[in-house]
Amino acid sequence: MGLGSVLFTLPTFSAATTYSYQTSSTNSLEHWQNWQPVGQAQLSFLFFDVYQSTLLTPSGTYQQAFDVTPHPLALSIEYQRSISQQQLLDATLEQWQKLGFSAQDSRVWIKQLATIFPDIKTGQTLTYITNGTTGYFVYSPQPNQQQQIGMITDESLNDAFLSIWLSPKTEYSDLRKRLIGMKR
């Protein structure tokens, strides 16, 4: 496992700001910060803590299904190390290759994420909130400060992105089990 493969995650939010996000479906994601945690997982590489991830849903449960995002959820990652945008993109691409996504799709998706992902510093958080089909990213450069930084309207990208953590085929099966509440 290369260091690049462990560097990509989404952060946890502690801010009070709420974003309003309405989708074409009846799901409203505007209150995601009030959702219940399903699970948390720590990713470490050798002696270094990389990030702490938290999976949240309105009910506090994750329904396993063929689709990795069968319902609204938020994946929040608090980084414990600084990570450049390029490292995030490289790690994402590496994970998609391991999961078997096509090179053509992955190139298109990486270009989209390159317009969204920031450089991340220690203590910052990146969260992806989805209704199960589409979603958006919220970046927290400081506690109590949040910025919506990009939307995903392609369901395939939505699912591919979350597959890094939630697919049964993920490289990080123990992390997945903790996130979806199977292992405490």
82, 120 contact by CB (below 8 A): yes
Judged against a pLDDT cut of 70, whether residue 160 lies above it is answered with: yes
Alpha-carbon distance values, 161 to 14, 18, 127 (Å): 23, 23, 12
Degrees to nearest 5, angle at CA 21 with 71 and 37: 45
Rounded distance between C-alpha atoms, residue 169 and residue 127, angstroms: 22
AA letter at 163: S
Span 38-90, pLDDT tens digits = 999 989 888 888 899 999 999 999 887 777 777 899 999 999 999 999 999 99
CATH 3.50.70.10 for the 32-180 domain, yes or no: yes
Domain assignments of the chain as residue spans, ordered by start:
32-180
pTM listed for this prediction:
0.81
* 18 vs 42: which has the higher pLDDT: 42
Strands of the chain, DSSP E: 36-45, 48-57, 73-79, 125-130, 135-142, 145-152
Judged against a pLDDT cut of 70, whether residue 19 lies above it is answered with: no
Rounded distance between C-alpha atoms, residue 6 and residue 183, angstroms: 20
AA letter at 173: S
